[in-house]
Amino acid sequence: MRVEMNPRCLVPAHVYYETFLLREMEALIVEQQARIVIVDNITYLRDELDKGRNAGPLMQELQDLASRRSLSLKALAHTPKRDDARPVTLNDLANSKMLSNFSDAVFAIGKSHVDPSLRYLKQLKARNSEMVYHAEHVALVRLEKAHNFLHFEFAGYGAERDHLAQRDAGDSSGRRVERAEQAQTLAAQGKSQREIAARLGVSVGAVNSYLKA
């Protein structure tokens, strides 16, 4: 069930907009008996989340709502402009301290520089489970649109470093071409993608991209 904000909605007098919005959201959750809620994105719920005095109380309210209604609640947040050659960390999240402190789990969607359609999922925090999708074992997904539905298709696993931007663009481009040629040669010899990845010292996801180049 997709719900959108109504910009023409009249907020009752003497009630803060943010309070009214969360109250209406909870009423709809109860009405629909929802158990999974995705907020896209969190800035719709409160202004100036880059300020701790706003981010902290909002996260506490969402945590309270999730606890009272037994929800699995995921809130999306964007990152400011960052260096794509550097691994993603919690510090890349705007006002990371407040948002992450009140979250049970945090993960990031990174853009691969091996293939424009490839993304990787990386765990940044896991309070109640082990860190499975760390920098050396990110989940690779491909952005696809089938039957008018834009979605992710699972594409394997890899190391984050293989998908970061290279500071020397000209040199990295040459290395990618060389690796792609080596991968295609090995594939023609009957080698599996896993064997090629081990030979070239890259992830299986990177080999998959080289073979499609």
- Report the chain (213 residues): mean pLDDT per 10 consecutive residues: 86 85 93 95 76 77 92 89 85 76 91 90 92 94 90 93 73 68 86 82 80 78
Q: What pLDDT is stored for residue 171 in this prediction?
A: 46
Sign of CA dihedral 65, 128, 35, 148: positive
Q: What pTM was estimated for this model as a whole?
A: 0.71
Parallel, antiparallel, or unpaired: how do β-strands 72-75 and 36-39 relate? parallel
CB neighbour burial string for 21-38, b if at least 16 within 10 angstroms, e if fewer: bbeebbeebeeeebeebe
